[in-house]
């Protein structure tokens, strides 16, 4: 059985180590990026540990108030624990919390060839919003996926000038 807790800055080394095993070098976040995410970014990282305290997975989430969106920066599960529903559980938790807190949507980017992650997100209701050519490097295309949690907030009718309506 795994336990879940929020990451702290001193988890940096274990996270970077697992990240290197889970992602190809052109995609993996390095120490500097993770240091920023753990110490300064607006959001949080959830960690899964086994009974011996070894890191078995993580999900990093940022909050973008201006866009009314939560952004999943990264998600990975240790290969020993894969296909047991842990990524789905982490995502379901984030989705439930996002809904309860009134966020409009959850966004993420996924590489086109990622045959493990794409079905995971699709089954949870994420929809492709934008194609991102060369997102992870030359010929490494990706898609931006979005899961809408609430209808966008209505801010009142805005008069659109005639010359813009014709565009």
Gap between the Cα atoms of 35 and 13, Å rounded: 10
Strands 105-111 and 142-148 come out as: antiparallel
Select from 102, 119, 133, 137 the one that contacts ligand COA (CB under 6 A): 119
**Residue of 77, 94, 147, 149 interacting with ligand COA (CB under 6 A):** 77
DSSP state of 84: S
Q: Smallest Cα–Cα separation from 93: which of 50, 46, 135, 136?
A: 46
Out of 48, 61, 70, 87, the residue judged to bind ligand COA by CB under 6 A:
87
The answer to whether 140 contacts ligand COA (rule: CB under 6 A) is: no
Q: How far is the CB of 115 from ligand COA (least distance, A)?
A: 6
- Contact between 129 and ligand COA by CB under 6 A: the answer reads no
Nearer to ligand COA (CB atom), residue 63 or residue 112: 112
> For residues 82 and 139, what is the distance between their CA atoms, to the nearest angstrom?
28
- Interface with ligand COA, residue 142, by CB under 6 A: no
From the number of C-beta atoms within 10 Å of its C-beta (0-12, 13-18, 19+), residue 35 rates as: middle
Rounded least distance, CB 140 to ligand COA, Å: 13
Please report whether residue 22 would count as binding ligand COA according to CB under 6 A: yes
Query: According to the binding rule CB under 6 A, does residue 76 interact with ligand COA?
Result: yes
Determine the Cα–Cα distance for residues 142 and 113; give it in Å rounded to an integer: 8
Point out which residues bind ligand COA (CB under 6 A): 22-23, 75-77, 82-88, 110, 114-117, 119-120, 123
């Amino acid at each position: 059985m795994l336990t879940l807790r929020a990451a702290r800055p001193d988890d940096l080394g274990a996270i970077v180590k697992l990240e290197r095993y889970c992602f190809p070098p052109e995609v993996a976040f390095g120490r500097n990026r993770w240091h920023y995410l753990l110490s300064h970014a607006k959001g949080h990282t959830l960690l899964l540990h086994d009974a011996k305290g070894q890191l078995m997975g993580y999900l990093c989430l940022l909050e973008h108030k201006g866009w009314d969106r939560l952004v999943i920066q990264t998600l990975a599960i240790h290969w020993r624990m894969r296909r047991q529903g842990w990524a789905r559980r982490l995502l379901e938790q984030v989705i439930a919390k996002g809904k309860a807190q009134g966020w409009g949507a959850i966004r993420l980017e996924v590489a086109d060839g990622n045959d493990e992650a794409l079905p995971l997100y699709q089954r949870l209701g994420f929809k492709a919003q934008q194609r991102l050519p060369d997102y992870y490097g030359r010929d490494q295309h990706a898609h931006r996926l979005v899961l809408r949690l609430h209808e966008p907030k209505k801010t009142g009718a805005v008069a659109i000038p005639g010359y813009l309506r014709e565009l």
